[in-house]
Amino acid sequence: MEKLLKQIIANDKKPPLYEYTGELFWNDPHISKQMLKAHLNPEHDAASRNPRAISATVNHLFDQGILKAGMRVLDLGCGPGLYSELIQAKGAHVVGIDGSENSIAYAKERSERLGLGITYLHMDFFEMPFEQEFDVVLQIYGELNTFSPENRDRLLSLIKRALKDNGRFAFDVTNRANRDPAATNPTWYTSESGFWSGEPHLVLEQAYDYPEASAWVDQYIVIDTKGVKAYRNWFNDHDVQSITEVMTHNDFQIEHCWGDLAWAPLTESDKWIGIVARKAV
């Protein structure tokens, strides 16, 4: 018991900025199944946006001419293929990659069973081998936010390499103005079986704000019979000026800023900023 308490206390504190725990929960045997269920649940936006929002986003990108039939599109962080399937159905040719083996297996099975013709790859983003292959790269639901500035810039260089000349990157980021400082209040709960563990467990939730870096982390400490694990979701928040500076520094030119990629007009209080940026050549 003393060892367990020491582990909990060691984890229950504000971590250094962008310190990761090494727990890659998207491939954990139990959690990855829960993640897939969350992606596929149309009743909430926990892992993916709801079907109406996904459809609105895809339709808007086609209506604006950002996506077109015949284009080659890279869906970066495709999950179970919710966007990929709609884009492919409109005549584009999609390659989807994701770090979750479970989600990719589901997406592949659907593509093969339904004859969709989508290519899905289980791959670390930082191992992308693509070079001037795609007209558009998509990375939707704030995934670009989850990297430290150094890794974000590494990823942007790989995205730039993957794009054809004048290709576009469509993505969204969390808006700093929408952060609620009160959300840092800690909470806890117990469960017989849930998202983080298939056995009885305790979860301690805590968020920490790093205003000097415009960063935020959601931390989850999970205690069950196997021990103590800590999971962290980092967010590098932005406003229009800061994301413009990031994209310019990485040789992209922003063409559109919306409240989201389904076209909502951007306001200061929006949770999201939807962006389309063109690769500079």
The CATH homologous superfamily for domain 49-177+239-279 is Vaccinia Virus protein VP39 (3.40.50.150)
Structure tokens at 7: 């582990």
Strands (E), the chain: 72-76, 93-98, 119-122, 134-139, 163-174, 187-191, 201-210, 215-224, 227-236, 252-258, 272-279
pLDDT value of position 23: 63
pLDDT value of position 21: 81
Residues in the chain: 281
> CA angle, corner 268, sides to 82 and 275, nearest 5?
40
pLDDT in tens, the chain (281 residues): 777 788 888 888 999 999 988 767 888 889 999 998 989 999 888 888 999 999 999 999 999 999 999 999 999 999 999 999 999 999 999 999 999 999 999 999 999 999 999 999 999 999 999 999 999 999 999 999 999 999 999 999 999 999 999 999 999 999 998 888 778 889 999 999 999 999 999 999 999 999 999 999 999 999 999 999 999 999 999 999 999 999 999 999 999 999 989 988 888 878 899 999 999 97
pLDDT value of position 162: 98
pLDDT value of position 25: 80
Could you tell me the end-to-end alpha-carbon distance of the chain, in angstroms, rounded to an integer?
Answer: 60
Question: Do the Cβ atoms of 240 and 266 come closer than 8 Å?
Answer: yes
Measured distance CA(280)–CA(259) in Å, rounded: 24
pLDDT value of position 155: 98
Please state the domain extents for the chain.
23-31+180-235, 49-177+239-279
pLDDT value of position 5: 80
Question: Do the Cβ atoms of 177 and 211 come closer than 8 Å?
Answer: no
Structure tokens at 239: 């406003």
Helix axes 31-40, 101-114, angle to 10 degrees: 50
pLDDT value of position 236: 94
